[in-house]
Amino acid sequence: MLREGYENARVEDIAPRARVTKPSFYRYFSDRKDVLLETQQTATWCILERCEEAYFSVEPWPERVWRCLATLLATIARNPAMAHASVVACYAAGHAAIREAEGLSRSLARFLREGCCWRPEAQLLPPLCSRASAGAIFEIVRHCVATGDVGGLDRRLPQFTYIAIAPFTGAEEAIALVEELKAREG
């Protein structure tokens, strides 16, 4: 389905590639949108499972964010077709697919929200702040996936970490923390 793009995908092409007959296909899916939604839900679960494990594997919070984002980017780089279905093709598949993609961004925002405890000033930030940071990160990811630049995503880890933590730590401390993480984590 991803070779042709969602808008050009046909069940007649999907079923043989999946090595199933059309009747077998229709036993599990009503149409190509169902295939995309199932792919997207599986991808989201897989990504969140890995990111959550990475996030809770370390302390303090900025390092948690670094590890979570590193895992996100590595998962996307290893699975570009899955990433394409999750964050690009969804916009051609309608509201349910778009909501699923936005759910991934909202999940990242929940990890970022812990930054409100980083310093007193951060406690005054509205919840929208973590959602905006997550949204900015996912928009860059979406662009990279759409243009086929998933191999270069790992280079953006420092940038994404800065986007994620700066509202909570302040700009100067975010720069120092990212530089420290780059030196330590590589």
DSSP string covering 28-56, please? H-SSHHHHHHHHHHHHHHHHHHHHHHHHT
Distance, in Å, from the CA atom of 15 to the CA atom of 20, rounded to the nearest integer, reads: 5
Q: Residue 120's domain spans which residues?
A: 31-185
pLDDT for the residue 94 = 82
pLDDT for the residue 161 = 98
Q: How many helices (H) and strands (E) are present in the chain, helices listed first? A: 9, 0
For the chain (length 186 residues), average pLDDT per consecutive 10? 63 80 84 82 89 96 98 94 84 83 91 95 94 97 93 95 98 98 88
Q: Is residue 181 part of a domain?
A: yes
Handedness of CA 59, 61, 67, 71 (dihedral sign): positive
pLDDT for the residue 30 = 85
Q: Is residue 22 part of a domain?
A: no
Q: Is residue 7 part of a domain?
A: no
Q: Is residue 50 part of a domain?
A: yes
For the chain, give the number of residues.
Answer: 186
Q: Is residue 20 part of a domain?
A: no
Global confidence as pTM: 0.87
Q: Is residue 130 part of a domain?
A: yes
In 4-127, which ranges are continuous DSSP H helix?
Answer: 11-17, 22-28, 32-55, 61-78, 80-87, 95-113
> Considering its fold, how many domains does the chain have in total?
1
3-state secondary structure of 126: coil
Instruction: Return the closest-CA partner of residue 159 out of 174, 149, 147.
Output: 174
Q: Is residue 171 part of a domain?
A: yes
Q: Is residue 18 part of a domain?
A: no
How far is residue 109 CA from its own chain's centroid? 11
CATH of residue 168's domain is 1.10.357.10
